[in-house]
Amino acid sequence: MNTSTRHNFTVSFRVVFAALALGSVVEQYLLDIHLQGTSFNGVNYFSFFTIDSNLLAAAAFALAGYFKASGARWPHWLDFFRGATVVYLAVTAIVNLVILGGLQAPLALIASWPSNLQHVYFPIAVAADWIYYKPQTSISWQHSMAWLGFPALWLIYTLARGASTRWYPYFFLDPTNGYFRVSLYCFVILILMASLGLVVRSVGKIL
């Protein structure tokens, strides 16, 4: 693959997947409105980590595609952003497969093409992009730990909101059966996310 072809492929790959990810979020939103009618809650919908992480990754892909296409100077923060979304979507895929697999999600996030894209194909695409187009900026282990900031804020928001609304996006965050169970799930996912952060950083440095 010559330089020009590789350049065009990279831009197209990123723009197409960014559009697909955004389209899947919109499609799922409309599907849930259709299925739930007046009981649909838009705030609940955008409180799913799956939705939030896919939107962030779509933004990262769109920005990466823009800077690649325009030839503008690559900003240092973009590789930090890209790496974060690799971790978030990897966790989304793993949690869906290991913890949520076989369960019926309350907002029909399982049996549809948007779900397949959000939980399988886009995470693979984002990881492949990181591996094939390595970061141009050095990512330190402190940077990889900083990637935990957004999930931590999301968790605080989710638990605080859930305490008042009695609604939680995932069953393992519902403290009905005690906060120890919730804490255990959160601890395991936190370790998983931190470990993935170090792996993503290492992959970016080695390749």
pTM of the predicted model as reported, rounded to 2 decimal places: 0.91
- Letter for the amino acid at 112? S
pLDDT category of residue 5 using cuts at 50, 70 and 90 = confident
Residue-wise over 28-54: b if at least 16 C-beta within 10 A, else e?
bbebbeeeeeeeeeeebbebbbbbbbb
Percent of the chain with pLDDT over 70: 93
Copy the structure tokens of residue 178. Answer: 């005690």
How confident is the model over 112-156, as pLDDT tens digits? 788 889 999 999 999 999 999 889 888 998 999 999 999 999 999
CA 49 – CA 70 distance, rounded (Å): 31
Residues 170 and 107 sit within 8 Å (Cβ to Cβ)? no
